[in-house]
Amino acid sequence: MEKSKVEARELHQIGAVAKAVGLSLRTIRYYEEVEVVPPSGRTNGGFRLYTDEDVERLRLVKQLKPLDFTLEEMRDLLRTLDAARAEGADGDEVHERLAMYAAAADARCEKLRDQLEAAEGMAKMLRRASR
C-alpha cells in the first residue's frame, strides 16, 4: 500500500502514538529524522500520521534501545524483519541475519543480567548499612 493512499481510519497522530508507545514526541521525531521509523503519511497540514504497523515498529525500537543496538542496527533489523515477512519461510540470508541479531540480543541480555545483579548487590548493601 502506498503511503499516500493509506486510509485515514488506519492512521494515528503523533501524540496518540507517543502515548500508546511510551515515547516522547521528540524521540519519535528523531526516529523519523534518522530514518528508523518514518511516518506513513501526513495530513494536508503536515502533521505526521502513523499506521498500526508503524506503532509496532516504534515499540520494537523501544525494546531494542536497552540492548544498545545502534540506529544502523535498528534500521537493518527492521529491514531484515520486513524481508523475512515478505519471503515467508524462504531466504537463508535473511534467517542468518535474524539469527545473528538473536545471538546479539541474547549476549546483551546476559550483560544486563550481570549489571542488574551487581546493582541489586549494591542496593542490598546500602539497605543493610542504613539500618
Count of residues in the chain: 131
Coil, helix or strand for 41?
A: strand
Q: Which residues contact 40 (CB under 8 A, 6 or more apart)?
A: 3, 6, 11, 49, 50, 51, 53, 54
- The rounded distance, in Å, linking the Cα atoms of 30 and 9 is 25
pLDDT 10s digits, 49-73: 999 999 999 999 999 999 999 999 9
Tens of pLDDT, residues 39-49: 999 999 999 99
Which pTM was predicted?
0.82
Q: Helices (DSSP H) in 3-47: which residue ranges? A: 14-21, 25-33
Give the integer Cα–Cα distance in Å for 25 and 15. Answer: 7
